[in-house]
């Protein structure tokens, strides 16, 4: 069963993927309604592992500003006791920002470091159906710099590499499986608490749903949809910035492969199919890949 469940490598919905507070960056936002914890099975005592998650995409703000990002997040996790898993994730962003007062700015920057805990609340079987419930709680820290334009003014929250806030979040992941098929539902809530006099994003609620077919222990395909609603962000003075927040729905196909029993590789994308956002935001397709190693 462990091999069946371990294909949930990337957080799609995710954090802790294209979510933690690092989801303040444009690319991160696509996955911030992650599907399940990256290792979806019950954690064995003493289990240890590492992940690398890479995402690339872009965001347009109006007709003049474009942000392109390549986000790489490394993380490690450990399970000190059965059913509990602790994780620390560190992202790095390679960004190209083009627009008024910006020129053509290209630079790598640190993202917001996050820590989280997964707790398996229940894991039951009725006939051929198996049901599990995993609760994830996390906290992201404002380790990304607060960025300014060529005139020294803060960039709006949607263009910041981090949240400039402490960001607690909760994900409740429900998984139903039968044979090679499974369905995961994952509501998510994120509530930024500003700790800097700098722009910050608004609160976010989301819902992810993903169906998976695994015809072989080393191969699985997945198709999901992620819905995110975000409140308007604020500027450095705490006023609404008028260019962030709104509603986005993504379609997210994915393939997961296991070249060895301990390594899982996933490839997929987030395609925004509905965008009702403030300030003329337009997100492009975000390409994602992840590598997980169970040590």
Q: Are 167 and 194 in contact (CB under 8 A)?
A: no
CA gap 238, 2 in Å, rounded? 47
Q: What is the pLDDT of residue 82?
A: 84
Grade residue 135 by pLDDT with cuts at 50, 70 and 90: very high
> Model's pTM, two decimal places?
0.82
Question: Which residue's structure tokens are 């994602």?
Answer: 288
CA gap 277, 74 in Å, rounded? 30
CA gap 60, 67 in Å, rounded? 6
Strands (E), the chain: 48-61, 65-78, 84-99, 103-110, 114-126, 129-140, 165-178, 181-190, 193-194, 204-216, 219-230, 246-260, 263-277, 281-283, 286-294
Structure tokens at 204: 């976010």
Q: Are 80 and 86 in contact (CB under 8 A)?
A: yes
Q: What is the pLDDT of residue 6?
A: 37
Q: Is the pLDDT of residue 45 over 80?
A: no
Q: Which residue has the higher pLDDT, 241 or 36?
A: 241
What is the pairing mode between strands 281-283 and 48-61?
antiparallel
Q: Is the pLDDT of residue 231 over 80?
A: yes
Grade residue 100 by pLDDT with cuts at 50, 70 and 90: confident
Average of per-residue pLDDT across 199-219: 91
Q: Is the pLDDT of residue 89 over 70?
A: yes
């Amino acid at each position: 069963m462990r091999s069946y469940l371990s294909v949930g490598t990337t957080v799609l919905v995710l954090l802790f993927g294209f979510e933690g507070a690092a989801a303040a960056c444009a690319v991160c936002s696509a996955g911030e309604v992650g599907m399940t914890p990256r290792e979806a099975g019950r954690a064995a005592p003493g289990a240890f592992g590492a992940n690398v998650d890479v995402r690339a995409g872009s965001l347009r703000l109006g007709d003049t500003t474009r942000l392109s990002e390549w986000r790489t997040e490394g993380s490690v996790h450990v399970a000190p006791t059965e059913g509990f898993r602790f994780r620390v994730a560190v992202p790095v962003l390679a960004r190209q920002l083009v627009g008024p007062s910006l020129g053509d700015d290209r630079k790598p920057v640190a993202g917001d470091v996050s820590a989280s805990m997964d707790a398996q609340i229940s894991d039951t079987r009725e006939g051929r159906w198996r049901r599990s419930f995993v609760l994830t709680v996390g906290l992201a820290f404002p380790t990304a710099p607060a960025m300014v334009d060529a005139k020294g003014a803060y960039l709006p929250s949607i263009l910041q590499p981090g949240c400039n806030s402490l960001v607690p979040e909760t994900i409740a992941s429900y998984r139903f499986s039968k044979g090679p098929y499974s369905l995961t539902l994952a509501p998510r809530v994120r509530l930024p608490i500003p700790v800097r006099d700098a722009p910050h994003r608004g609160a976010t609620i989301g819902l992810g749903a993903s169906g998976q077919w695994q015809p072989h222990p080393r191969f699985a395909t997945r198709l999901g949809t992620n819905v995110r609603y975000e409140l308007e962000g604020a500027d450095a003075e705490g006023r609404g910035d008028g260019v962030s927040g709104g509603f986005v729905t993504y379609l997210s196909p994915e393939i997961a492969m296991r070249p060895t029993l301990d390594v899982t590789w996933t490839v997929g994308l987030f395609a925004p199919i509905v965008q009702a956002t403030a300030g003329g935001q337009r997100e492009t397709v975000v390409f994602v890949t992840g590598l997980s190693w169970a040590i």
